[in-house]
Structure 1
Amino acid sequence: MGVPDEHIHPVATGVAAQTVAKHQEPQDLIFYAGWFCPYVQRTWIALEERGIPYQYKEVNPYKKEKHFLEINPKGLVPAVEYQGKALYKSLILTEFLEDAYPEYKPNILPKDPYTRAYVRIWVDYISKTIVPASMRLTQAQDPEKRKEYLQELLNAQRKLGEQVKGPYFLGEEFSLVDVALAPWIVRDWISVKHRGYRREDAGEAFKNYADNLAKRPSVINTSSDEEHYIPIYDRYLRDEAQSEAAKAVRQGRDIP
């Protein structure tokens, strides 16, 4: 069961709406987004961090425009149209932006080959460990399973926290690790309210790191008002969401 279209706010709100308003002029890069999606926010953060010119276009998940489906038959967001060609998937897009716009600084992938590889290892860890644990916790209906998944998430976050050099993962440098995790940090109030989660239970190092991510301007500027996330995440809390990620969690598959 999905939430009827009218129950979802159609566009970004709050600070994010102000960001959208600044990116309506045509550009070589068109950014197709869903304001509420954490994967979208990854790419959006990268665009804002680096000051890359882009045109923002909101995609209605229930009424996808013909042109969008022509360039991206999977109908997934985030997606970009670059010089008439389409790409999608959040982490691939962030790396694409590094290659397509090398003149825009700062980079979110380090120049040093070792550090770049090290960053990719921990991005993979976030995608395969922390994000699935967070989603399992949100979707869990059984109280005992919730306890199990809560501990799984805290353990995964604590392990990441032990690697943080502060204030961001690499220290002063904001990197792809931070981009990969930040959208789930700004949504953790959902687990605080409904699943007994507390950042401090993942350790002081992780809590300090998460607090710093939440205060990053690019993260704030791509976040909408909390009240408008509620109808969307209520579906996950009831385990009724029909997104590809939710289906994968329900079926025990890797999140696509």
Structure 2
Amino acid sequence: MSIQGTLSSWEKLLDTARKHTSARRIKRPGQSPSTAPIPSSLHKLPPNTAPPVLLYRDTNSWCPFCERVWFALEEKEIPFETEFIDLSNKPKWYTDLVPTTLVPAAKIEGKLVYESKDILLALEERFSTPSLLPENPEENAVARQWVEEAETNGFRDIAYKFLRETPTDAHELANLQAEFETKLDELEQALGKYPGSYFLSSFSLVDIMYSPHLDRLAANLPVYRGYHIKGNPRFSRINAWFEALNQRPAYHRVKSDHITNNLLLRRRWGVEPIGNPLPLDPADSEKIQFRAEAAERLSDNREVAIADILKNSGVQALAVDGNISAVQEAVEFHLRLLADYLINGNGASLPGGRTGGKDSLDPTIAAVGAITLAYVRNRICAPRDMSAGAATAFRAAADKVLASVY
């Protein structure tokens, strides 16, 4: 089994990608996750100064409550460091430290705070600029009331009941949907109280309280209930709110993508899909900065990716006469092919351009490549591995290269 043709080296791919994106991550050898985002405000700290906030969060960046705190830290430009907690095997020191044993928790200048709402309010009290609560006393009181009600008004419970429960008949499902729509109607009305697209007259903690859950519901419901929030004329203000969030750089750093959200729901809750996911955003898949970020992430973290594929994708079963090194070479080749395509994007690096055409590619190499590309397409998690925009570009490119292999 041999691979014909040449590709740019990993070093050259990495160097080129970094010229087109400022996205960087800290490597965490032998740890999970294998990389971690660098807070956008970390550069503001004087040398050898510890960040004022330590955030305890989940390893996979799936927790919507952790996302709330991360969102606020990025919006308020507060330097912070992160301690990742494995939720399937929480360390004793953490369960001893945090009374609820849940994430998130945070130490704000050494003081422990837990529960996402309480952390958000504590950050607002300690770091008042930029403010995420209105200066106007009346509007400030409304904001604080809505922050509290986001936890107590039943929206989240009713929404996930509609999403996750298996109703006994169509009548029960219709009732669950009606309850959920009543709650969405309440949010729709709340978004009309003040001018602009946010809950209040400017972006605030109220938006942060709702964004992770509404993001997940907008992604999950079309697939698992055949129900759409986005594009639904009944919820025009909620859709305008999504558009307003999409203009915020901090939102792009912390949000997930809809494929990650849908894979998570199926893995965690065993819900079976009945509809189609929202399409990949073609704008994101073609943006140079997102393609470059995806290529940078793959190139910089390639050793971890290759080891994961060899261990967990099943490609080793294709080894001829036990030649695992040849399988590893094919895995590495197709990942470089993907990184090259993300950077060049003109088809020159696809098998038809550099390996003599699809039909001439060794069948075993092609099979290893197909498994590799399909595996990494579904394995990546946003924002654990890269931003949601980069994940969209990564998946679209993987589909393109996969189609060229088979």
Q: State the TM-score, normalized to the length of structure 2.
A: 0.50
Structure (1 or 2) with the larger CA radius of gyration: 2
Report the Cα distance in structure 1 between the residues aligned to 2:82 and 2:183, rounded to whole angstroms: 34
Counterpart of 1:121 (choices 136, 139, 145) is: 145
Q: Is the 8 A contact 1:43 1:93 kept in 2?
A: yes
Counterpart of 1:69 (choices 95, 100, 110) is: 95
Give yes or no for the alignment of 1:131 onto 2:131.
no
| Amino acid paired to 2:53 | L
Give yes or no for the alignment of 1:155 onto 2:155.
no
Q: Is the 8 A contact 1:138 1:236 kept in 2?
A: no
Give yes or no for the alignment of 1:216 onto 2:248.
yes
User: By how many angstroms is 1:22 displaced?
Assistant: 7.7
Report the Cα distance in structure 2 between the residues aligned to 1:49 and 1:227, rounded to whole angstroms: 25
Q: 1:37 to 1:193 in 2, by over 3 A?
A: same
Q: How does 1:186-201 map to 2 (within 5 A)?
A: 186-187=215-216, 188-199=218-229, 200=232
Counterpart of 2:80 (choices 44, 54, 62) is: 54
In the other structure, the counterpart of 2:107 is 81
Give the 4+ runs in structure 1 shifted more than 3 A.
10-13, 17-26, 143-146, 224-232, 236-239
Counterpart of 1:140 (choices 165, 175, 179) is: 165
In the other structure, the counterpart of 2:136 is 112
Q: 1:219 to 1:100 in 2, by over 3 A?
A: same
Q: Spell out, residue by residue over 1:30-60, the C-alpha distance to the aligned partner (whole angstroms, 9 max, x if none).
A: 1011210111111111111100111012211
Report the Cα distance in structure 1 between the residues aligned to 2:38 and 2:234, rounded to whole angstroms: 32
Q: Alignment length, in residue pairs?
A: 224
Q: Share of identical aligned residues, percent?
A: 25
User: By how many angstroms is 1:226 displaced?
Assistant: 4.2
Q: Is the 8 A contact 1:33 1:57 kept in 2?
A: yes
Q: Spell out, residue by residue over 1:147-192, the C-alpha distance to the aligned partner (whole angstroms, 9 max, x if none).
A: 3222222222222222323221123x11111011100122121112
Structure 1: 5+ residue stretches without partners: 1-9, 240-256
Give yes or no for the alignment of 1:96 onto 2:122.
yes
Q: Is the 8 A contact 1:45 1:222 kept in 2?
A: yes
Q: Spell out, residue by residue over 1:81-120, the C-alpha distance to the aligned partner (whole angstroms, 9 max, x if none).
A: 2343321111111000011222xx3211112221111112
Q: Is the 8 A contact 1:29 1:54 kept in 2?
A: yes
Report the Cα distance in structure 1 between the residues aligned to 2:39 and 2:260, rounded to whole angstroms: 16
| Amino acid paired to 2:83 | K
Report the Cα distance in structure 1 between the residues aligned to 2:262 and 2:235, rounded to whole angstroms: 27
Q: 1:76 to 1:191 in 2, by over 3 A?
A: same
In terms of mean alpha carbon deviation, does 194-203 or 230-239 score higher?
Answer: 230-239
Counterpart of 1:185 (choices 200, 209, 214) is: 214
In terms of mean alpha carbon deviation, does 219-228 or 182-191 score higher?
Answer: 219-228
Report the Cα distance in structure 1 between the residues aligned to 2:265 and 2:160, rounded to whole angstroms: 11
Q: Spell out, residue by residue over 1:103-142, the C-alpha distance to the aligned partner (whole angstroms, 9 max, x if none).
A: xx32111122211111123233433232122111122101
Report the Cα distance in structure 2 between the residues aligned to 1:112 and 1:32, rounded to whole angstroms: 33
In the other structure, the counterpart of 1:167 is 197
Give yes or no for the alignment of 1:205 onto 2:237.
yes
Q: Is the 8 A contact 2:220 2:261 kept in 1?
A: no
Report the Cα distance in structure 2 between the residues aligned to 1:216 and 1:151, rounded to whole angstroms: 32
Q: State the TM-score, normalized to the length of structure 1.
A: 0.76
Counterpart of 1:236 (choices 262, 266, 269) is: 269
Report the Cα distance in structure 2 between the residues aligned to 1:151 and 1:71, rounded to whole angstroms: 42
Q: 1:230 to 1:21 in 2, by over 3 A?
A: farther
Report the Cα distance in structure 2 between the residues aligned to 1:44 and 1:180, rounded to whole angstroms: 12
Q: CA RMSD in A?
A: 2.7
Structure 2: 5+ residue stretches without partners: 1-31, 44-48, 273-406
Q: 1:22 to 1:231 in 2, by over 3 A?
A: farther
